[in-house]
Amino acid sequence: MFNNIIKNKSWIIEDVGRDCFSEALKIADVIYYIDLKRYCLYYRLIRRWVRQKLNLESYSYKPTLNSLLQLLQWLNKDLKHKNNTIKNLKETNQNVIILNNKKINNMIL
């Protein structure tokens, strides 16, 4: 199904860290890597978990303490490998744009 999607003229994907997206990375017109500060990522992850726990936000998995810990572990692992991830993206596709909060805000305003 994914390969049929990327045959279209226009498409957007999220979470390019998965192996199933490797072909899409090669043919993408642009890859945006959103590089947020560590504290911002932790804050958003915990805030989202709390909102899910309070039924203020929908979820596809039950927001347990164990699920929160797993998400935090995943985030830590991702942050440790951030530089390698960016390097690999740039080796795969020449049009990688790194965005931080300031650049994103400038784009929106």
Domain ranges of the chain: 2-108
The one-letter amino acid code at 39 reads Y
65-80 helix and 38-53 helix, angle to the nearest 10 degrees: 160
> pLDDT tens across 65-74, in order?
999 999 999 9
SS3 105: helix
SS3 9: coil
> pLDDT tens across 22-48, in order?
889 999 999 999 999 999 999 999 999
pLDDT number for residue 92 = 93
pTM for the model:
0.79
Please state the φ and ψ torsions of residue 98, each to the nearest 5 degrees: -95, 125
> pLDDT tens across 72-106, in order?
999 999 999 999 999 999 999 999 999 998 998 89
